[in-house]
Amino acid sequence: MIIARSLLIGAILALSGCSLGGEPTVRSFPTAVENTAVPTAAPTAQPSPTTENPTAPSVAPTARPSPVAENPTTIVQATPTAGLCQHPYYPVVAGASWEYQMSGISGGTFVRSIINVRENGFDDQDVFSAGVTRQGRWECREGNLISLTPGSGTSVIASNVQANFTIESNTGITFPADPRPGTEWAQTIIYRSQQTIGDKSMESRNELNLSCKAIGTERVSVPASDFEALRVDCTTQLGISIAGAPAFNMTVTGSSWYAVGVGWVKSRDSGDMGVTEIVLLSYTIP
């Protein structure tokens, strides 16, 4: 019973992070910052009218740049889009949070939040109404978002349960930089899990395989609002071995929807344990 419960907890949490609640035209945002800088340079080109007066060429160029400094608006607006981790389908902003409702084989709510943002990565956290907390670490590489840990988390803490993960290998990407319809991607994570329930401990070796394809834009209605969202279909396979022998295998297929400027708004997955649906209740993005 302890082993079954431990495996179930590990499986659900490992699979939960695969529904990115995802992110990635990462590179397009930095270029957008560069483009916004170009218009600020344009006013310095306005001295061209003064070139019509050959007697003031030395004065006009030095006098005209000052109005550019009087308009700091473009600089302030550009700062939120700075960094490699910004993505239209998953806003990476420190302090941003999304509340979700689960139904099906798993019930209750959870809140996902961005707790730290680095130049080339970020950390997120899920706090479930059932008392489980999951923390994860992400990397932004060449515009792609990559979960560095299974289920986006290195550690999961529940009531009387502690699970820690050690990564052996991590290849592929979790969400591509340009998920236009027809784009396909995959990720494989092999990791060891140390799970403790009360005074009982168990170690397992796990392999998580994720394969996805962007389908297209669809209209989605959830409690938070109505969205035009990108649909992504994924198949996730999780294999767990104990003492070198296969102990648990699970395959989950489903769809997730992501809205520009909002992120993950809905998912519906089905597998050996049944169907789970997750919808966005509310969100706050500073």
pLDDT at 151: 54
Query: Can you say whether the dihedral through the CA atoms of 240, 8, 271, 185 is positive or negative?
Result: negative
CATH fit for domain 2-27+84-284, picks 3.30.70.141, 2.30.29.30, 1.20.1740.10, 2.40.360.20: 2.40.360.20
List C-alpha distances in Å: 256 to 17, 31, 269.
12, 28, 8
SS3 14: helix
Measured distance CA(125)–CA(107) in Å, rounded = 18
pLDDT of 240 higher than 50: yes
- β-partners of residue 166 are 192
Measured distance CA(279)–CA(108) in Å, rounded = 11
Tens digit of pLDDT for each residue in 77-121?
Answer: 333 333 688 888 989 999 999 999 999 988 999 999 999 999 999
Least confident of 65-79, 159-173, 206-220: 65-79
Tens digit of pLDDT for each residue in 6-24?
Answer: 444 455 455 544 445 433 3
Q: What is the mean pLDDT of residues 28-32?
A: 33
DSSP letter for 95, please.
T
Q: What is the CA radius of gyration of the chain?
A: 23
Tens digit of pLDDT for each residue in 139-170?
Answer: 999 889 999 976 544 445 555 566 778 899 99
pLDDT at 48: 43
pLDDT at 157: 52
For 55-83, b where at least 16 C-beta lie within 10 A, e where not — what string?
Answer: eeeeebeeebeeebeeeeeeeeebeeeeb
pLDDT at 20: 56
The DSSP element (H or E) to which 36 belongs, if any, is helix 28-41
pLDDT at 284: 98
The DSSP element (H or E) to which 5 belongs, if any, is helix 2-16
pLDDT at 133: 87
CB atoms within 10 A of CB 212: 25
pLDDT at 142: 80
pLDDT of 192 higher than 80: yes
Domain residue extents for the chain: 2-27+84-284, 31-81
SS3 140: strand
Q: What is the mean pLDDT of residues 159-183?
A: 86
Least confident of 35-44, 76-85, 250-259: 35-44
pLDDT of 202 higher than 80: yes
